[in-house]
């Protein structure tokens, strides 16, 4: 394992960084798309069941199938990383739409009423009252989406997009379990670091939550 790392440092580090951005970028795009959709699901209550059910349905598509189908849907090359990013964005979106809607719904009716009565306009209330209060719920969803993406990216090795998953296929084809183990450890480390970063970011954004805990 160590030997492999010594002999192929450039490969492994470039795979690591590919794996990193392929895990993170879809979550970011997914969140940006999920915010307005989640807002609709929370603002117009009758849209909540169809929107969240549809989102849930997306998540049931097998990842390998989606990776393979992407080029024919998007017209991209089979080895293009765009396929992976789009497919993973779909999964992130599927998770985050419900999370954003639930987060916005967690704002107490009293607080909404007060915000409206103070004279917040629709978008102002969303950005300055509803969204900040929904942060703890949304970041909980971001953690799940990010960690699950780290795992899903590795599946891309099967369709030949090089990243940490390539260590699995290489270890498997060369019968060297150490290489596979290295892949697992690096994936694990990546997932833990990203998770910790989201927790940290959430803490920075929500000092009021700690104030409650301290009481």
Partner 1 sequence: MIKFESVVKKYPDGTVAVNGLDLVAPSGKITVFVGPSGCGKTTSLRMINRMIEPTSGTIWLDDQDTGKVDASTLRRGIGYVIQHAGLFPHRTIVDNVATVPLLLGRDKKKARSQAIELMERVGLPASFAKRYPAQLSGGQQQRVGVARALAADPPVMLMDEPFSAVDPVVRAELQDEFLRLQSELGKTIIFVTHDIDEAVKLGDQVAVLKVGGTLAQLASPATLLTDPVDDFVAGFVGRDRGYRALGFESGQLDPDTEQTVKLGDDAAAVGRAARDGWSLAVDDARRPLGWVRAAALAEGKQVTPELLHRGGTLAPVSGSLRGALDAALSSPAGRGVLIDDNGALVGTVTASEVVQRIESQLAGRRNGSDG
The site for partner 1 (CB under 8 A) is made up of 108, 110-111, 113-121, 124, 129, 132-133, 135, 206-208, 211-212, 214-215
Q: Furthest-apart CA pair in the chain: how many Å? A: 68
Q: Which is nearer to partner 1, 115 or 164 (CB)?
A: 115
Q: Which is nearer to partner 1, 2 or 108 (CB)?
A: 108
For residue 176, with 0-12 CB atoms within 10 Å meaning exposed, 13-18 middle and 19 or more buried, which class applies? middle
Q: Minimum Å distance from CB 133 to partner 1?
A: 6
Q: How far is the CB of 207 from partner 1 (least distance, A)?
A: 8
Whole-Å CA distances, 190 to 49, 59, 135: 34, 23, 23
Q: 109-114: long-range contacts (C-beta < 8 A, 24 or more apart)?
A: none
Q: In angstroms, give the least distance from the CB of 108 to partner 1.
A: 8
Shortest reach from residue 120's CB to partner 1, in Å: 7
Of 54 and 111, CB closest to partner 1? 111
Of residues 72 and 121, the one with the C-beta less far from partner 1? 121
Closer CB to partner 1, residue 2 or residue 117?
A: 117
CA distance 132 to 205: 8
DSSP string, 111-156: HHHHHHHHT--HHHHIIIIIHHHHHHHHHHHHHHHHHHHHHHHHHG
CB of 90: closest distance to partner 1 in angstroms?
31
């Amino acid at each position: 394992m160590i030997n492999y790392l010594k002999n192929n440092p450039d490969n492994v580090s470039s795979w690591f960084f590919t794996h990193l951005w392929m895990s993170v970028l879809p979550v970011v795009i997914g969140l940006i798309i999920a915010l307005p959709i989640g807002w609709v699901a929370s603002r117009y209550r009758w849209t909540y069941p169809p929107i969240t059910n549809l989102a849930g349905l997306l998540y049931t598509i097998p990842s390998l199938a989606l990776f393979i189908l992407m080029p024919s849907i998007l017209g991209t090359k089979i080895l293009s990383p765009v396929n992976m990013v789009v497919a993973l964005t779909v999964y992130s979106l599927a998770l985050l739409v419900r999370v954003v809607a639930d987060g916005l719904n967690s704002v107490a009716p009293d607080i909404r009423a007060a915000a409206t009565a103070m004279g917040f306009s629709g978008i102002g209330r969303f950005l300055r009252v509803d969204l900040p209060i929904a942060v703890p719920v949304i970041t909980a969803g971001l953690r799940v989406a990010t960690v699950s993406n780290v795992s899903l990216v590795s599946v891309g090795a099967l369709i030949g997009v090089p990243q940490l998953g390539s260590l699995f296929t290489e270890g498997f084809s060369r019968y060297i379990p150490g290489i596979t183990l290295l892949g697992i450890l690096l994936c694990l480390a990546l997932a833990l670091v990203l998770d910790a970063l989201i927790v940290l970011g959430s803490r920075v954004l929500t000092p009021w939550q700690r104030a409650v805990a301290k009481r």
